[in-house]
Amino acid sequence: MAGGLAEAFVERGPIRTIGVVGMGYVGIPAAVLFAEVPQYRMVYGFQRDSATSGYKISMLNRGESPLGGDEPGLAALIQKVVAAGKFSCTADFSQIASCDAVTIAIQTPFLDPSDLLPDFSALEEGIRLTGRHLSRGTLVVIESTVTPGTTAGIARRILEEESGMVAGRDFGLAHAPERVMVGRLIRNLQDHDRVVGGIDDASTARACELYSPILVQGRIIPMSATAAEVEKTAENTFRDLQIAAANQLALYCEAMGVNFYDVREGIASLKEEGVTRAILWPGAGVGGHCLTKDTYHLERGVKVLGRDLDWPEGERSLFLSARAINDFMPAHMFHLTRDGLARAGKGVACSRVAILGWAFIPNSDDARNTPSEVFRDIVVSSGGEVSVHDPWVEDYPGVTLSRDFGQVIGGADAVAIFTGHREYFSLDPAWLREATGHPHPVIVDGRNVIDPDAFIREGWVYKGIGRGDKNSHELFP
């Protein structure tokens, strides 16, 4: 059968026209990088003309970027390829028939995090629209992060249903997971190695042909489609696991009265070939769109695809334990706050707690799945009052955000640092204590941002993640 597909690719000729479905933070940079490649004649960006995203079509066709935030090189590249007539955005999916290759980058959010079942509806619609207009010899590539088994499973079935053709005979199908990070989209696409996995060798080879011209430092890593899906979900699962290991050790250090950061320095000093320890950082929690979901994709994959998994009887998945530890950290921040208030002779109920940082990563306005929200809910359900400061996040449903430090800190019985925004590294203990109006306010450092001794000397009750050496300090007048 592979002969059929290889033949279909030969008949179609080299890739000249490309379609990118989904004009988001993954699709847009990919589309304009393809358009910049001399041998690619035309790139169509396919975008549904919906109420929420339809505006992108006219913006992109004017050569403007609809993406917020600073993306070095992107705006200029969009302008360049639009002016050169090599990129055009459209809601007319019938143009897919003219494409030699079509990539699909539509996100797969979890509708309700509690059920941890991803919402594939938008992605399935994109795949369906692609299948409906697919022509023989076209390569389809899924770039979205999906549960292992999706490309060769539901994606293949939808494409075959809609096109009436057979994958691996009439058209190619592959998975090439995106690995871009906001703020470095173009650079990541050019310099990160690119995992590319086809449902068969011909599809893999054609996908390598598609992506090679846009790589600068990066190299292609070919494998099967399912292996590529496992790789993507596992690369984030492993990062979540590394963070959980740091969090667990930090909790142990607190319990044993030692400074986690001293211990970490010792561990990280092991640098000899093959014995390096990649120890990450403990923190107030793990937020974002990647690490909070990709473990569950991997776990679902092994449930759906796995045959006769050999596993220690009754033992819980290490990866799910890691998720539980990371999800516990906002509760730990609450316990530190509660214990700190108790030292100041107060209870959480009727206390005012100022949260510094709503974004899930430093110096960013991205607050998806922020750990701060979990902490806020626990404080409020315990009868406390909350004020929130964030210098980057404009707004967020269900919370009042302020950039007025004095207003957020004023009257606060406790201050909890949740995000390592650069603004928080220079907090002045004397000024801050004055601003709270209390003799012994509590400071809880969730990101190792402040110097414990400077605050303790100013009369603060200090608590810090991993700071077992300081968390039971004497109280200064």
Asked if 99 is an active-site residue, the reply is no
Q: Is 28 or 57 the residue whose CB approaches ligand SAJ more closely?
A: 28
Q: Is 144 or 204 the residue whose CB approaches ligand SAJ more closely?
A: 144
Q: Is 171 or 418 the residue whose CB approaches ligand SAJ more closely?
A: 418
Answer for the pair 100, 79: CB distance below 8 angstroms, yes or no.
no
State how far Cα 110 lies from the chain centre. 13
Nearest approach in angstroms of CB 56 to ligand SAJ is 21
Q: Is 157 or 422 the residue whose CB approaches ligand SAJ more closely?
A: 422
Q: Give the orientation angle of helix 294-305 with respect to helix 225-256, to 10 degrees.
A: 130
Among the listed residues 56, 86, 232, 470, the single catalytic one is: 232
Q: Give the orientation angle of helix 294-305 with respect to helix 318-343, to 10 degrees.
A: 150
Q: Is 290 or 443 the residue whose CB approaches ligand SAJ more closely?
A: 290
Nearest approach in angstroms of CB 192 to ligand SAJ is 8
Nearest approach in angstroms of CB 370 to ligand SAJ is 8
Nearest approach in angstroms of CB 419 to ligand SAJ is 7
Nearest approach in angstroms of CB 144 to ligand SAJ is 12
Nearest approach in angstroms of CB 58 to ligand SAJ is 29
Q: Is 372 or 471 the residue whose CB approaches ligand SAJ more closely?
A: 372
In order of 4, 88, 90, 118, 205, the CA distances from 63 in angstroms are 40, 9, 13, 33, 32
Nearest approach in angstroms of CB 400 to ligand SAJ is 22
From CA 447, how far away is CA 332, in angstroms rounded?
13
The tokens describing 333, both together, are: 């921040």
The burial of 320, by beta-carbon neighbours within 10 Å (0-12 exposed, 13-18 middle, 19 or more buried), is given as middle
Among the listed residues 290, 293, 346, 470, the single catalytic one is: 290
Nearest approach in angstroms of CB 397 to ligand SAJ is 19
- Max CA distance (Å), the chain: 83
Q: Is 16 or 192 the residue whose CB approaches ligand SAJ more closely?
A: 192
What residue ranges bind ligand SAJ (CB under 6 A)? 179-181, 235-236, 239, 243, 280-281, 283, 286-288, 290-291, 360-361
Nearest approach in angstroms of CB 450 to ligand SAJ is 16
From CA 99, how far away is CA 134, in angstroms rounded?
8
Asked if 232 is an active-site residue, the reply is yes
The tokens describing 35, both together, are: 């358009």
Residue 404's contacts (CB-CB under 8 Å, 6 or more residues apart) are: 389
From CA 220, how far away is CA 242, in angstroms rounded?
26
Q: Is 110 or 281 the residue whose CB approaches ligand SAJ more closely?
A: 281
Q: Is 207 or 367 the residue whose CB approaches ligand SAJ more closely?
A: 367
Catalytic residues: 232, 290
